[in-house]
Amino acid sequence: MAPPSASLPASVLVVDDEPDLRTLYELTLLREGYRIDTAADLQEASLMLAQQRFDVVITDMRLPDGLGSALLHSLKAQQRSERVIVMTAYGSAENAVEALKAGAFDYLTKPVDLKQFRTVVASAIQDSNRTQRASTVNEIAPQRTAAGDSALQKLVGTSDAMQQVKQRIVKVARSMAPVLVRGESGTGKELVAKALHANSHRASGPLVAVNCSAIPESLLEAEFFGAKKGSYTGSTQDRQGYFQAARDGTLFLDEIGDLPLAMQSKLLRAIQERSVRALGSVQEEAVDVRIVSATHKDLAADVKAGRFRQDLYYRLNVIEIAIPPLRERRGDLPSLCEALLERIAQESGMPPPRLSRELLEQLANHPLSGNVRELENLLHRAVAMGDGEALHLDLDFEPTQDMGLAALPEASPEPAVPAAPGITSNPWTLDTVPSDLQAFLDRQEREILVKVLHETGFNRTAAANRLGLSLRQIRYRIERLNIATPQDNEPHDA
């Protein structure tokens, strides 16, 4: 049984027990130039699949003689190449997500929007063609494997927990299913996204990484979907958005839990319809991207609290990769320290310092709540404060009035916010009301922020969580209050 010829129109099998819907789907796809066959149930579809191969199989989830997902499992067991799209009733997204986890290309919710229907089918055919081309070009596989191995090696660690993470990356990388990377701040979520991309069939395409919490809310739509010249104040030329930039590649949405609800709705539409409309444009533009997202938050809890859309959560959390915190894999500390010290030495143009038993013992007993990012910060400080011999960490020092900023690498002394007359650190009364209330409040706020930043190893995400702020809010306050932070602690996963 030969696969579909690349010179022939793409072939599609539609499985639905409602005759009117079968006719509607058939006519819609015939207008797109595809070859169409239809079946009313699992038995009829199985007979057709036994006789020929298709590029795409579209099946209703509930059929008279069983679940449409049975076709998916059968094709997967036979190692068939058909892309499977499942259709499910509104409100049954859990079943569709299970189908995606089992290997379905995508799902559609009934009643099906025909525009979305055509877009998803076209994307499935394009993905099938891309895979066929990759399998016939001998040069692609070795290059992709080398890049994939290199990306995996950057996830340092030989513990069982990290080995499981790496195995899961390799297993799910070749899928088109969206992946949600979950882990505490500083655990390496962006490195996982890079490894997923490098080990996928999209490795030759772009990887576009987006920090969702760092974009002003007023610019989110333009940044994600692009904008036409003059569409907003300051827009002097056409610009492409993240979706367009990631076409045929991977779009990594870091800190996805920080997106406002209004933008969550627009993102969901773009993912479902596989198309975007630039700000100020009337034309939809098809975009073929694989979505990988990451968060340190409990999105399931946010869904229950109404802070995150349930339908978007189902779209993003098809496959989950959980990264263990460093405290649960302390056996990886020696290899992590060696890798980080080598990188620090290269950046400073010096030979790698000696990793001593005393230093490892210190780290083993340290909470490391900031994970790998905090570990790197500690090693930077040890190198900067060392005397060229074995490294030693001063983990027990007490913060000074400037919260120890001078002891940190690349930090500069902070200009003090003028204190209001008569104000001390003691509780104040109506007799000592400040003459400059704003200066007093700024001073109090700054002292709290610097203290929490210091205690979290200048991990802005951890500090924001402790203070009940968003990452965007804490960045604003750091800038407004002129608080310097080490450059090597920018909020990206190490």
Please give the pLDDT value at position 435. 58
- 280 in the Ramachandran plot: left (φ > 0), alpha (ψ -120 to 50) or beta? left
Mean pLDDT of 208-222: 92
Asked if pLDDT for residue 478 goes beyond 80, the answer is: yes
Asked if pLDDT for residue 73 goes beyond 50, the answer is: yes
b/e map 271-298, b = 16+ CB within 10 Å? bbbbbbbbbeeeeebebbbbbbbbbbbe
Span 412-494: which CATH code? 1.10.10.60
Q: Topology of domain 11-136, per CATH?
A: Rossmann fold (3.40.50)
Please give the pLDDT value at position 389. 60
Instruction: Please write the tens of the pLDDT for every residue from 120-156.
Output: 999 889 887 766 655 554 444 434 467 888 899 999 9
- Angstrom distance (rounded) from CA 372 to CA 378: 10
Domain boundaries, the chain: 11-136, 140-324, 325-396, 412-494
Higher-confidence position of 302 and 428 = 302
Instruction: Please write the tens of the pLDDT for every residue from 363-396.
Output: 888 888 889 999 988 888 888 776 656 677 766 5
Instruction: Please write the tens of the pLDDT for every residue from 14-56.
Output: 999 999 999 999 999 999 999 999 999 999 999 999 999 999 9
Helices (H) and strands (E) in the chain, counts: 19, 14
Candidates 184, 202, 197, 304; CA nearest to 255 is 184
- What is the overall mean pLDDT for the chain? 82
Please give the pLDDT value at position 394. 64
- As given in the structure block, the two tokens for residue 107 are 């799902």
Please give the pLDDT value at position 267. 96
CATH classification for the domain delimited by 325-396, as one of 1.10.8.60, 3.90.1150.10, 1.10.287.3510, 1.10.357.10: 1.10.8.60
Residue pair 62/35 in contact (Cβ under 8 Å)? The answer is: no
Are domains 11-136 and 325-396 of this chain identical in fold? no
**Start-end of H helices in 274-422:** 299-304, 310-316, 333-348, 357-364, 371-385
Instruction: Please write the tens of the pLDDT for every residue from 302-356.
Output: 999 999 999 999 999 989 999 999 999 999 999 999 999 888 888 877 777 888 8
CATH classification for the domain delimited by 140-324, as one of 1.20.1440.230, 3.20.80.10, 3.40.50.150, 3.40.50.300: 3.40.50.300
- 170 in the Ramachandran plot: left (φ > 0), alpha (ψ -120 to 50) or beta? alpha
Candidates 274, 251, 275, 253; CA nearest to 264 is 253
Mean pLDDT of 253-257: 96
Hey, is 294 helix, strand or coil? Answer: strand
Hey, is 209 helix, strand or coil? Answer: strand
Candidates 229, 349, 227, 204; CA nearest to 279 is 227
- 468 in the Ramachandran plot: left (φ > 0), alpha (ψ -120 to 50) or beta? left
**Which of 50-64, 228-242, 427-441 tops mean pLDDT?**
50-64
Please give the pLDDT value at position 38. 96
- Angstrom distance (rounded) from CA 313 to CA 303: 8
Residues with Cβ within 8 Å of 423's Cβ and at least 6 positions away in sequence, in order, are 432, 434, 440, 443
